[in-house]
Copies of this chain bind each other. A is one copy, B any other.
Amino acid sequence: MRAPYGLNILDNCLTCPVREEHIFCNLSVHAGQRLNEIKSTAVYPKGAMLFIEGQQPRGVFVLCAGKAKLSTSSREGKTIITKLSDAGDVLGLNSVVSNRPYEVTAEMMEPGQANFIPRESLLQFLKDHGEVALRVAEQLSRNYYTAYEEIRTLGLSTSPSEKFAKLLLSWSTKSPQSDGALQVKLTLTHEEIAEIIGTTRETVSRLFSEFKKKQLVQLKGSTLVIRNRTALEKIVQS
């Protein structure tokens, strides 16, 4: 089965990304069947918008393949990226549960696939299956935590270098923990990095130069190598 954008369609992607905390995993047989009835799968090209900040919530998206960036922006055009999502993430849950407009824009950064569950169906489903509602509550509080992490970085760490170091470290922990040399595939542009840490493209460029000069990081093709983790950690809490 072949989809556009050179992507294999996954049969049932509600459960495909193996995640302990996945809220739609390990459901009762009955609930699982019901969920399968109300979900629908779609494939998206790079740049596709799953939803846009301010829209009324249509439903939630469960990302099965591909990466998406969540961002919010001001009228004057300044944008901040608040989260990078990948397979397994549930997008739009808060808006659906509280019935408020999407608070972010979700844009595919690469071709991908997602399950869609319409708002009404999901809410009915949650009413019918109380045990899942609690799972949803847990997921929401996890979201809340990451939001607070964001608040802390934006509000407490003043200098761009601090935030930049923090970002690099957060990447290095997610990457394959093979021995000493920590490697990260670099898929973002400097502009995007700037939007994550809330600064300008030029500053990010300068930070890269600076960190390279200080032997903190090194660039091999498009993979970034963290050479001095402890030094980075020191910058973070300087």
Which positions in A face B, CB cutoff 8 Å? Answer: 72-76, 78, 80, 82, 93-95, 97-98, 100, 103-104, 126-127, 130-131, 133-134, 136-138, 140-145, 147-148, 150-152, 154-158, 198, 237
In the complex, which residues of chain B have a beta carbon less than 8 angstroms from the beta carbon of A95? 141
Distance in angstroms between the alpha carbons of A133 and B133 in the assembled complex: 6
A84 to chain B, nearest CB (A): 15
In the complex, the answer to whether B133 meets A137 with C-beta atoms within 8 Å is yes
Known: A127-B134, A133-B130, A147-B148. A98 touches B141 (CB 8 A): yes
Distance in angstroms between the alpha carbons of A8 and B221 in the assembled complex: 69
Can you list 28 pairs linking A and B with CB atoms under 8 Å apart?
A: A74-B157, A74-B237, A75-B237, A76-B237, A80-B152, A80-B155, A80-B156, A94-B141, A94-B144, A97-B137, A97-B138, A97-B140, A97-B141, A98-B138, A98-B141, A100-B145, A126-B134, A130-B130, A130-B133, A130-B134, A133-B137, A136-B137, A137-B137, A143-B144, A144-B147, A151-B151, A154-B154, A155-B198
In the complex, which residues of chain B have a beta carbon less than 8 angstroms from the beta carbon of A76? 237
In the complex, which residues of chain B have a beta carbon less than 8 angstroms from the beta carbon of A143? 144
A127 to chain B, nearest CB (A): 7
A78 to chain B, nearest CB (A): 5
Distance in angstroms between the alpha carbons of A103 and B80 in the assembled complex: 23
Known: A130-B130, A156-B78. A147 touches B137 (CB 8 A): no
Distance in angstroms between the alpha carbons of A117 and B41 in the assembled complex: 42
Closest residue on chain B to residue A150 by CB atoms = B151
In the complex, which of the residues A94, A126, A148, A155 has the most CB atoms of chain B within 10 Å of its own CB atom? A155
A117 to chain B, nearest CB (A): 15
In the complex, the answer to whether B97 meets A156 with C-beta atoms within 8 Å is no
A51 to chain B, nearest CB (A): 15
Distance in angstroms between the alpha carbons of A136 and B156 in the assembled complex: 29
A30 to chain B, nearest CB (A): 15
